[in-house]
Amino acid sequence: MTAAALAGTLPKHASHEGISRMAPPRAQRVLIAVTGGIAAYKVPELVRALVRAGHAVRCCATHNAAQFVSPLVLQTLSGESVRTQLFDPEQEGEIDHIALADWADLVVVAPATADALAKMAHGIADDLVTTLLLATRAPLLVAPAMNVNMWRHPATQANVATLRARGVAFVGPESGMLACGWEGEGRMAEPAAIAAEAERRLGAPTLAGETVVVTAGGTREALDPVRFLANRSSGKMGFEIAAAAARRGADVVLVSGPSALATPAGVRRVAVESATEMRDAVAAELARCTVFVAAAAVADFRPAVAAKQKIKKEALADDAGLVIELVRNPDILAEVARAPGRERRLVVGFAAESEDVLAAARRKLERKGCDLIVANDVSRSDAGFDVDTNAVSFVTAQGDETLPLLSKREVAERLLDRVEALRAAAHDEPR
């Protein structure tokens, strides 16, 4: 596909003002997993609070939970059917359990019984709810509720410590009179407190209404059916950007070269291998795209011919080397920056530089026609490929800002703060 073909993927009306803002903002999606404790009777209040705050809410409940709270009440308040069974063909037909696990931006376990905490800590998946909790990649917020002695039991405390170490967040339990007659710690946090903590975890939906397309990872350029040219990119930076954009409420498409990383919650992943496949995948998303971030390490060249059969040594003279002719790959970033509808799209590129970083990034900004270049100094060992930290500078037409060494997650957050500021400025500009 050529740049012209890429341009041709845009609908005729796409260059009109405001088209990207017409899509309704994507609500942040909360899955509430209800396990079997008396506090389950308070979950309808939690559902109402989250629905009122504008979130899309779905519930799933264990068999025991359904003894304490009617799934019909949860269904009525959430407006979505409530799943309780793993192997019910009707429920599975409506939304399969893996799709439900993938759907969520945040999973709230409320109430979480001692048994549920133990299963979560040990990766046991013996019913619908525990299977969902094992399958989801969304962050987990847990509201325990149980008898004070069960809560204080070393087994429960060890399970809580294991889960905390894994990044699971807790709200409560509170102290007070317990339904079992004992007084002490073990009461589920109030629904309003759980909802507030959920809101904090979700973050503000500051990118709601935006469609963010991120390229990530390296590409593979085939030499023959078994060999390829590749690079050391792990995809970490692009995956963090996609995850952070989804947390901020954007619709996110992650066009990724081969990567072992898990697809972040709330992100649609399009898997590609070569640069041309990546370009075609980006082109297919461009009509809706309002923010494009090129974080992929795209091979600049590919073998002129990818042999149909495995290249054999026998075909060559005994000590002859093999000469491979390389041809240029399309520059995806530059093509997106030239594509029609440019005025309604923010284009962000990366620049891996080893000397005179800012000057080189500024040249790249102009040459490729980007709004923002994230420049990183690849001469440092603590930044760039396959490490968890990055040292970057943001380069725009207005100037540049150099950030300290940060985790890639933090770089992603700072980048999206910049993206939001540039989007706000673009909306304010007279057209």
Residues that bind ligand CTP (CB under 6 A): 215, 275, 294, 296, 298, 300, 329-333, 349-352
- Give the active site residue among 59, 60, 180, 289: 180
Q: List 294's β-bridge partners, or say none.
A: 215, 349
Instruction: Give the orientation angle of helix 114-122 with respect to helix 154-165, to 10 degrees.
Output: 50
* Minimum separation from the CB atom of position 18 to ligand CTP (A): 27
C-beta of 178 vs 281, nearer to ligand CTP: 281
If one counts every other C-beta atom within 10 angstroms of the C-beta of residue 380, the result is 14
In 113-139, which positions are buried (b, 16+ CB within 10 angstroms) versus exposed (e)? Answer: bbbbbebbbeeebebbbbbbbeebebb
* Minimum separation from the CB atom of position 414 to ligand CTP (A): 17
Residue/partner pairs of 404-409 with CB below 8 Å, 24 or more apart: 408/236, 408/237, 408/240, 409/240, 409/243, 409/244
Is 189 within 8 Å of 46 (Cβ atoms)?
A: no
* Minimum separation from the CB atom of position 363 to ligand CTP (A): 9
Is 146 within 8 Å of 113 (Cβ atoms)?
A: yes
d(CA 54, CA 235): 32
Instruction: Give the orientation angle of helix 236-247 with respect to helix 408-428, to 10 degrees.
Output: 50
Is 355 within 8 Å of 379 (Cβ atoms)?
A: yes
d(CA 413, CA 99): 27
Please name which of 158, 303, 143 lies closest in space to residue 221, comparing C-alpha atoms.
303
C-beta of 289 vs 296, nearer to ligand CTP: 296
C-beta of 103 vs 292, nearer to ligand CTP: 292
C-beta of 169 vs 387, nearer to ligand CTP: 387
C-beta of 113 vs 215, nearer to ligand CTP: 215
What number of CA atoms fall less than 13 Å from residue 119's CA on the CB side? Answer: 19
* Minimum separation from the CB atom of position 59 to ligand CTP (A): 41
C-beta of 197 vs 331, nearer to ligand CTP: 331
* Minimum separation from the CB atom of position 263 to ligand CTP (A): 19
59 a catalytic residue: no
Question: Known catalytic residues?
Answer: 180
